[in-house]
Structure 1
Amino acid sequence: MNYISENISYLLRKTGLGKDAFGQTVGLKRGNIGSYIDRKAYPKIETLQKISETYKVSIDDLINTDLANNNLKPRGIVSKNAINDYSVSEIIENIYIRDDEFSSSPLLWMYIKMKILDGKIEDEELIIERLESIIEKNISKYSK
């Protein structure tokens, strides 16, 4: 028996991502993720490698260990509130995946990604100002 289905479900719950967002992080579509969870298909080794790399779980553990019912926890996967454990690029990626404004503004996303991931933040104030305005907009949206 393998635990691929259970472990993908576990990673979705633990990260708070839906099938679409989870699929985007590993280059797959929602249907692929659903097929893996429903045991209708099994991921290719390349997909297992990408999941392993992205979510800091060894391929062996991803296949052979029930992560939800084991003391072994995926490295780097923690509570959604532990923001200090995430890199800046992971935070920005999560913002992009979850925020409609970024999704409708791909140039802004590309600019931020290039600056942060390349480590060459030349216009940091602009990035911070833009992120603050998006945060304020989202706070007011949920405060109503």
Structure 2
Amino acid sequence: SSLTQGIFCPPLLLCPSRVRRDMTELVRVTLPLLLIAALAPSSVAEEQATRFRITNGCGSEPIWIAHQAAAGVGPDPQNIRIAPGASYDMTVHENLTGTRYWPKMRCDEHGDRCSIGESGGPGEHCDTAAGCSPPVDTKF
């Protein structure tokens, strides 16, 4: 199967090894292109899934990934915990028309009640005071 990779890291104050400017460039330029490439048609057989690798670029804290595939949750589990420096390969089927990923931090042991990144996506909740965090959107 083919593989595309994206790296998530929180803002500078949560991940001091990163520079805020680098994060802005990653989100503004690189990440949308990687997400679109993950969904682009390939020569792989239809029943074989494309993998989208999400890497936790923060060396100090785990992140949790919530996602939405089309109108519901995709084939991967919701609220995936990724340890510092580790990766997780998401399944992206060729006929998928859109998907969203929400990196979250400082969550409970189930990936809920997060201090950062609550999404309001399928099976997710939002902080009543702060509201929902926007997803990394791959609709096109």
TM-score, normalising length from structure 1?
A: 0.23
- Looking at secondary structure, tell me which structure has more strand per residue: 2
Could you say which structure has the larger radius of gyration? 1
**Larger helix proportion, structure 1 or 2?**
1
Q: Taking structure 2 as the reference length, what is the TM-score of the superposition?
A: 0.24
